[in-house]
Amino acid sequence: MTDNPPDIAELAGGFIHEIKNHLSTFNLNLQLLADDFASPQTPRERKAKQRIDRLTQQAQKLVDVSNDFLRFARAQEIRRQPENLSDVLDEMIDFVGPTLRAANIQINTYPAPNLPPIPMDRELIKQALLNLLLNAEQAMPDGGEIVLQTRREGDNACVDVIDNGTGISAETLPKIFRPFHTTKPGGTGLGLATSRKILRAHGGDLTVQSEPGRGTKFTLCIPLPKS
């Protein structure tokens, strides 16, 4: 009897673990070099310090990409239990609210009454929501408003995440859920792809409507429990 081959999540986990081990060693040596040049005295030393700083930034970007890819690969590993959707939203608002308020963004919520507990992986749904809220924040660099509303739609419970930010062009809209597609400086292009993968692993979906200059609405839907 032969062992079953590892799935993509298992392979990705091992691969990312190895990369991060090497990155840890690399970062440690960069930190030691940075300490040696903490007070550069000559133009040569100042140039060396600048190069060390750039390398450190790029190493951190590799860590960020690795973590994002690992989350993407593992997004189908769900552990469902009945959860109150409004409680999940409240928890996310408590978590990200201070950051949004500091960016001059107001959050308004409109919960649907009498939604039953929904089978979901609470942490993964929170991750999907966090990606959407951070995406909305980036779309409103001068501040604005985010509306979170829950509702029943057929056999699904849905959450609309609506912002009045810059919107998404018709050319870009079909590409936003593609892994590694990004228009943001420093972005990895995995946040929205991961969020949609999480919803589809739950048997639901993540969709988007947007218009440049008029904002964006992401709709996250999760199947209601069968009666």
CATH of range 81-223; options 3.40.190.10, 3.20.20.70, 3.30.70.2860, 3.30.565.10 = 3.30.565.10
Give the model's confidence band at 89: pLDDT under 50 very low, under 70 low, under 90 confident, else very high.
very high
Three-class HEC string of 151-175: EEECCEEEEEEEECCCCCCCCCHHH
β-bridge mates for residue 110, sequence order? 149
Stated pTM of the model: 0.71
8 A C-beta contact, residue 13 and residue 73: yes
- Round the average pLDDT of the chain to a whole number and report it: 84
Give one word for 143, left, alpha or beta, with left for phi > 0 and alpha for psi -120 to 50. Answer: left
Is the pLDDT at 64 greater than 60? The verdict is yes
Q: For the chain, give every domain's residue range.
A: 8-73, 81-223
Question: pLDDT per residue over 16-33, tens digit each?
Answer: 667 777 777 887 888 888
Separation in Å, CA 48 to CA 42, 115, 176: 10, 59, 39
Average pLDDT over residues 187-194: 74
